[in-house]
Structure 1
Amino acid sequence: MGCEMAQRAEPGQSGQSGRRGAGQAGADPDGPPGAPYASRRTVLGTALAAVTLATAGAVTGCAPSAGGGSTADQDRSPFTGGGEKGDHVLAVKIDNVGPARPQTGLDQADLVYTEEVEAGLSRILAVFASRVPATLGPVRSARESDLELLRQFGRPALAFSGVQSKLMPTLEAASLRLIPPGKLPEGYERDPARPAPHNLYLRARTAMDAAKDAAAPRDIGFRFGPAPEGGRRVGEHTVRYPAARFTFNWSAGRRRWLVSMDGAPAHTRGDGRLAPATVVIQYVTARASRFRDSAGSVTPYTETVGQGRALVLRDGKEYRARWSRPAADAGTTFTDSDGNRLPFARGQVWTALVPKD
């Protein structure tokens, strides 16, 4: 009790709880009193309470929660701010060209990253922990950039269909629990109704059972809470890669950003529209890697360690931000112009890794 109250009194933090995926702004229950002046007794009482709370915090060894809010938030997901945390982290490389759509299970991801690959196309890296669907896919091959991006999760499991032979030694040496088809054949299946290579699917729960030694969800720098002041009203934002684009349209009724891919509404197989609560546009350095695909196209390397500018979309607004990730094993923080953490809406988070100009 004392620990939670002490943390709630800390500036810039919020102890607001919420249903997973609610994504709604709320009032701060710990705001200043309405009266402009306080009596001497009130002032002394407030000071005494503050000393008591500080002492309680020191005695109990209070520590900041993964969600950046009260002690109650420690049991929430550090990825979504929701009530379900999950036991292990599973990352899956998912195809995103026309024949691969609609994808399966993408709506249940905690985190979705979009990135540029060869020939200006896009691919998705989806991260699961709090919810694991029966089937995920279509699953495609890993890239060198994935190693850097995934380091912030500790040692997560990674499901992928394959990798260039020259990259395999680097992948095997990385801090990852690798579960490709060759290591877990019972964890994959082909859909005969789709053409190869867009028909390989992961039996995700089988994969999760086989990856009990994968890392547990941990703080990767995100914070969740009520919408901050400021921002600019925006109903739509489009992210463009050379040969792909994502559009996010705000739905006030659903309080979500409705996703479109290459101009068409994005759905999952048998489910509804893809609709994250928060969308992050993270401007990054994309350089040529040492790899090429079978057609000779250079594989981009997306750098996610460093710092730069970003846009955070939530609650129908756009917030200008700065991102910072000082090392590969560190999380990524997003701050406003004053250096304050920008809270995300609770629910699924999409991060578009976009090459900066």
Structure 2
Amino acid sequence: MWYRLLAALLVCVVLSGCSTQPLREALSGKDEQKEEEKLHPFTGEKMKEEATGPPLMVMVNNHSKARPQTGLNRADMLVEVLAEGGITRLAAFFYGEDEGRVGPIRSTRPYYLNLTKGPGAVVVHAGGSPAALNQIKSQSLASLDALNGEEEVFQRVDFRHPPHNLYSDLKQLLRKAAEKGYAKKAPDSPYRFNKQRETEGKAASRIEMTFHRLFKAGFRYDASSDQYIRYTEGKQHRDRLTDQALSADNVLVIRAPHQVIDASGRRKVELTGKGEGMLFQGGKARVIRWEYRDGWIVPLVDGKVASFFPGKTWIHVLPEKGELSYR
């Protein structure tokens, strides 16, 4: 019977213009179509392997007594926003990374929680403000809380004093997330990535940011690696375990309204709106607009999504009166 099938397929090719690809598939029974390459939703780089769990957004302490931290060098994306006391706190996103220590871990706030919604991230934290804890409960947000139920996957270290000594491990966190039934659906990223370097923009080899009169941070461009090296309070910011300098391929600085709302100095930060910003890449600066789109902070140029370079992105949220300079 095989020769009848072959004859029929040859007639199809001659008379109706069928391609030879279906013919090869019919004869071999194999689909030779190459599977589309999977790109990392935060970095735009090729995924090494399928992620074993959902994205994690780890609330990382940035107090001077918590630095240098552990694990920030392996985060895919970091968002820096003021907390209380004029000090920033870091939301470190991990996806597809399933090993390694991270910390010190601190509490969360409502404006950080708004960042979990786009990527569907599990917030990893040690308690939170009353408003944040109520938001987690009322909106059924995925949460791993060191102070309310998940203590076994967090550890206190003896080389730092509380509250700057709480750590965890990504493998433990992902195991706990699976136990709690948190879905590991891949994020539907709005970001665009392009390896081509921009020719437009002003020179920006040094970036300085003042979040508060008590806290400054910045970056210096390293042409040899084509990355920005992070500085905090004038000192190069490094990882505690590896002594690796923290770096970014993209530095996005945006402005958003900040308001102190209670006697403890807690803030309301409007991250669900839109505003002005600057995007730094490859030693150059571009003016952008930003919008909160479906739970993501998205940079725009002329109304279109501005491309990131493939790699790590740091997003910094300055108060409207915060200072930004570059040269």
The structure-2 alpha-carbon separation of the partners of 1:355 and 1:217, relative to structure 1 and needing over 3 Å to count, comes to: farther
TM-score (norm 2): 0.80
Structure 2 unpaired stretches of 5+: 1-34, 322-327
1:126 maps to amino acid: A
Q: Indicate which of 245, 254, 273 corresponds to 1:282.
A: 254
Task: Please tell me whether residue 229 in structure 1 is matched to residue 210 in structure 2.
Answer: no
Pairing of 1:11-160 with structure 2 (within 5 A)? 72=36, 75-84=38-47, 86=51, 87-154=53-120, 156-160=121-125
Deviations 1:164-187 (A, max 9, x none): 345423222234211112322221
The structure-2 alpha-carbon separation of the partners of 1:133 and 1:303, relative to structure 1 and needing over 3 Å to count, comes to: farther
| Structure with higher strand content | 2
Q: CA deviation at 1:339?
A: 2.9
- Using the alignment, how far apart are the partners of 2:131 and 2:309 within structure 1? 40
CA contact (8 A) 2:108 2:132 kept: no
1:83 maps to amino acid: K
Structure 1 or 2, whichever has the larger Rg, is: 2
Secondary structure of 2:311's aligned partner: coil
Report the counterpart of residue 165 of structure 2 in structure 1.
Answer: 199
Q: CA deviation at 1:133?
A: 3.6
Structure 1 unpaired stretches of 5+: 1-70
Report the counterpart of residue 183 of structure 1 in structure 2.
Answer: 149
CA contact (8 A) 2:250 2:313 kept: yes
Identity of aligned residues (%): 24
Report the counterpart of residue 311 of structure 1 in structure 2.
Answer: 278
Q: Indicate which of 153, 166, 169 corresponds to 2:134.
A: 169
Report the counterpart of residue 352 of structure 1 in structure 2.
Answer: 316
1:282 maps to amino acid: I
Report the counterpart of residue 342 of structure 1 in structure 2.
Answer: 306
The structure-2 alpha-carbon separation of the partners of 1:287 and 1:166, relative to structure 1 and needing over 3 Å to count, comes to: closer
1:333 maps to amino acid: V
Secondary structure of 2:304's aligned partner: coil
- Using the alignment, how far apart are the partners of 1:229 and 1:72 within structure 2? 30
CA contact (8 A) 1:115 1:124 kept: yes
The structure-2 alpha-carbon separation of the partners of 1:111 and 1:217, relative to structure 1 and needing over 3 Å to count, comes to: farther
Q: CA deviation at 1:229?
A: 3.2
Report the counterpart of residue 57 of structure 1 in structure 2.
Answer: none
CA RMSD of aligned residues (A): 1.9
Q: How many residues align?
A: 277
